[in-house]
Structure 1
Amino acid sequence: MTRAPRRRAIDLALMMLVSAIAATVLLLPRSVSAADIPAFAVEPSWPKQLPNNWILGQVGGITVDGQGHIWVIQRPRSLTDDEKGAALNPPRSKCCIPAPPVLEFDVDGNLLRAWGGPGQGYEWVGREHGIEVDERGFVWIGGNADNDNAILKFTVDGKFVAQIGAIAPSKGSNDTTQLGKPAETAIDKDANEIYVADGYGNRRVIVFDATTLAYKRHWGAYGRTPDDAKQPPYDPKAPAAQQFGNPVHCVKIADDGLVYVCDRINDRIQVFRKDGTFVTEWFFEKNTLGNGAVWDVAIWPDPKQTYLLSADGENNEIRIIRRADGSVVGSFGHNGRNAGQFHWVHAMAVDKQGNVYTAEVDTGKRIQKFRLTSDALR
Structure 2
Amino acid sequence: PHGFFIDADGYIWTSDARGVGDKGHQVMKFTQDGTLLMTLGTAGVAGDGEDTFDGPADVAVAPNGDIFVVDGHGNNRVVKFNKDGEFVMSWGEAGTGPGQFNEPHSVAFDSQGRLFVGDRVNERIQVFDQNGQYLAEWPGIMASGMDITEDDVIYVADYQLRLGIVIANANDFTEIGFIENAMPEGVTVDGMGNVYAGEVLPRNLKKFVKN
TM-score using structure 2 length: 0.89
From 248, 269, 282, give the equivalent of 2:125: 269
Distance of aligned partners of 1:328 and 1:136 in 2 relative to their CA distance in 1, 3 Å threshold: closer
- Give the conservation status (yes or no) of the 8 Å contact 2:56–2:73: yes
Secondary structure at the counterpart of residue 185 of structure 2: strand
Structure label with greater radius of gyration: 1
Shift of 1:328: 2.3
Q: Could you say which residue in structure 2 is the equivalent of 1:342?
A: 182
* CA shift digits 1:51-77 (9 cap, x unpaired): xxxxxxxxxxxxxxxxxxxxxxxxxxx
Residue correspondence of structure 1 range 160-175 to structure 2 within 5 A: 160-172=36-48, 175=49
| AA partner of residue 159 (structure 1) | T
Secondary structure at the counterpart of residue 107 of structure 2: strand
Give the CA RMSD over aligned residues: 1.8
Is 1:317 aligned to residue 190 of structure 2? no
Q: Could you say which residue in structure 2 is the equivalent of 1:155?
A: 31
* CA shift digits 1:181-229 (9 cap, x unpaired): 111111112x21111111211111111123x211112211xxxxx35xx
| AA partner of residue 342 (structure 1) | A
Distance of aligned partners of 1:330 and 1:136 in 2 relative to their CA distance in 1, 3 Å threshold: closer
| AA partner of residue 89 (structure 2) | R
Residue correspondence of structure 1 range 219-298 to structure 2 within 5 A: 219-220=91-92, 226=93, 240-241=96-97, 243-246=100-103, 248-284=104-140, 293-298=142-147
| AA partner of residue 126 (structure 2) | Q
Greater relative CO (CA pairs within 8 A, separation 6+): 1
Q: Could you say which residue in structure 2 is the equivalent of 1:299?
A: 148
- Give the conservation status (yes or no) of the 8 Å contact 1:359–1:366: yes
Q: Could you say which residue in structure 2 is the equivalent of 1:351?
A: 190
Shift of 1:143: 2.2
* Whole-angstrom distance in 1 between the partners of 2:171 and 2:65: 26
Shift of 1:265: 0.9
Is 1:142 aligned to residue 10 of structure 2? no
Secondary structure at the counterpart of residue 209 of structure 2: strand
Q: How many residues align?
A: 206
Q: Which structure is higher in strand share?
A: 2
Distance of aligned partners of 1:300 and 1:159 in 2 relative to their CA distance in 1, 3 Å threshold: closer
- Give the conservation status (yes or no) of the 8 Å contact 1:284–1:294: no
Residue correspondence of structure 1 range 1-378 to structure 2 within 5 A: 128-146=1-19, 148-172=24-48, 175-189=49-63, 191-210=64-83, 212-220=84-92, 226=93, 240-241=96-97, 243-246=100-103, 248-284=104-140, 293-302=142-151, 305=152, 307-314=153-160, 315-333=162-180, 341-343=181-183, 345-362=184-201, 364-373=202-211
| Structure 2: stretches of 5+ with no match in the other structure | none
Shift of 1:241: 4.7
- Give the conservation status (yes or no) of the 8 Å contact 1:252–1:261: yes
Shift of 1:146: 3.1
- Give the conservation status (yes or no) of the 8 Å contact 2:80–2:89: yes
* CA shift digits 1:35-89 (9 cap, x unpaired): xxxxxxxxxxxxxxxxxxxxxxxxxxxxxxxxxxxxxxxxxxxxxxxxxxxxxxx
- Give the conservation status (yes or no) of the 8 Å contact 2:12–2:30: yes
| AA partner of residue 244 (structure 1) | F
Shift of 1:316: 2.3
* Whole-angstrom distance in 1 between the partners of 2:12 and 2:176: 33
* Whole-angstrom distance in 2 between the partners of 1:353 and 1:195: 27
| Structure 1: stretches of 5+ with no match in the other structure | 1-127, 221-225, 232-239, 286-292, 334-340, 374-378
Moved more, 141-150 or 268-277: 141-150
| AA partner of residue 170 (structure 2) | R
| AA partner of residue 367 (structure 1) | L
Shift of 1:170: 2.0
